[in-house]
Homo-oligomer: A and B are copies of this chain.
């Protein structure tokens, strides 16, 4: 009566321990500015709620395993606007991007296989992989270089006979990096030359603040090996809907995923009914959200640049910044901010970045900051970070 080895290799969420610290701080009356989470404060488009309120059937039936046809069609049209040509049969609806990722890993990897992932990466990639016996094969990127990819030969050197895919988020969580056209082309070449799948997690596609964006969906020459993971969570500030999708022109892959979709029967019906309306949201919504985040990015980045010893490049996408800070241990620093520091009863909570790295020892002196607060609050939070850091460095052992 044992717990499996694979589940033992799945890490306990480090953020959960920190949340007990922040809960304690709040209990003591402290105000905590949360820069640690990816939960946007933007309003979900009303159409989502209206559609669900208007649902008429008296029996809440299973949806089709592949997803509601109208939702699939809406997603096809959405991609079409980006010149990404999917057929409805290429798209499956999933329980968030999370299920899309887990099902993908199961379908392309057997136990002992590995997936190339630029680090730092969204830490749940690791949990999904380890839960089904798959390893992450990290491609290290660094703050000094804005977390852009290393040269092609460095990536190729990591590939072995068990390497099945390259997985990355673009724009990147946690780094906010947006890969250049050249980087995407390089990934495509590597995938083709080494017979790998490419899994592109593009849930932050609309969160680009400077320059061009190249979706993997636009790279025609490798379209049979591209898998796009998507979600309404960030795009429409509908994290709690848990509506994601997978898209691929590889019929064998989609057929494989469909078997898993059929086994778990369906994605919630009402959430899909709501999501159909999300995709009809006027483009001005996405533009104004983009404008808002861009402003926040600028505010936070500029404030960070005023803090001595902080190293980061201005990120171009998503709503995160990973910054190197002049401390020995960022986890200890964050706990200290929550338990031992305040200015007029207020403190700030960044997320220690070590959990986003696979290579031991990396990220210990880094934090991730999510700019999910309004600009005034962000300024306040950055001020608290600056003052906190200064005070901490005086007592750091």
Which residues 23-62 of A sit at the B interface, judged by CB distance below 8 A?
39-44, 48-49, 52-53, 55, 58-62
In the complex formed, the residue of B with least CB distance to A236 is: B60
Query: Does the CB pair B131–A265 fall under 8 Å?
Result: no
Query: Does the CB pair A263–B10 fall under 8 Å?
Result: yes
Of A267-275, A339-347, A358-366, the stretch lying at the interface with chain B is A267-275
User: Which one of B99, B239, B266 contacts A240 once the chains associate, using CB atoms below 8 Å?
Assistant: B266
In the complex formed, the residue of B with least CB distance to A37 is: B62
User: Which one of B39, B62, B274 contacts A62 once the chains associate, using CB atoms below 8 Å?
Assistant: B39
Q: How far is the CA of A279 from the CA of B164 in the complex (A)?
A: 45
Query: Does the CB pair B256–A242 fall under 8 Å?
Result: no
Quickly give the copy total for this chain: 2
With A127-B263, A259-B10, A263-B124 in contact, is A43–B61 under 8 Å at CB?
no
A107 close to chain B: CB less than 8 A? yes
In angstroms, how far is the closest chain B Cβ from the Cβ of A314?
A: 27
Of A11-19, A78-86, A388-396, the stretch lying at the interface with chain B is A11-19
In angstroms, how far is the closest chain B Cβ from the Cβ of A56?
A: 10
In angstroms, how far is the closest chain B Cβ from the Cβ of A240?
A: 3
A63 close to chain B: CB less than 8 A? yes
A288 close to chain B: CB less than 8 A? no
A356 close to chain B: CB less than 8 A? no
Q: How far is the CA of A132 from the CA of B134 in the complex (A)?
A: 11
A291-316 CB mask vs B (1 if < 8 Å, else 0) is 00000000000000000000000000
Query: Does the CB pair A263–B110 fall under 8 Å?
Result: no
A133 close to chain B: CB less than 8 A? yes
The size class of the interface chain A forms with chain B is 35 or more
A179 close to chain B: CB less than 8 A? no
Contacts of A268 in B (CB 8 A): 240-242, 268, 271
Q: How far is the CA of A58 from the CA of B46 in the complex (A)?
A: 8
A106 close to chain B: CB less than 8 A? yes
Contacts of A287 in B (CB 8 A): none
In the complex formed, the residue of B with least CB distance to A6 is: B110
With A7-B259, A253-B3, A263-B128 in contact, is A240–B61 under 8 Å at CB?
yes
Which residues 137-159 of A sit at the B interface, judged by CB distance below 8 A?
none
Besides A10-B260, A39-B62, 15 other CB < 8 A contacts?
A1-B196, A4-B107, A44-B60, A53-B53, A62-B239, A96-B265, A98-B264, A99-B264, A124-B264, A124-B265, A133-B133, A241-B268, A242-B265, A270-B270, A270-B274
Q: Mark A residues whose CB is within 8 Å of B.
A: 1-8, 10-13, 16, 39-44, 48-49, 52-53, 55, 58-63, 95-96, 98-99, 102, 106-111, 113, 124, 127-128, 131-133, 164, 195-197, 224-225, 237-242, 252-253, 255-256, 259-260, 262-271, 274
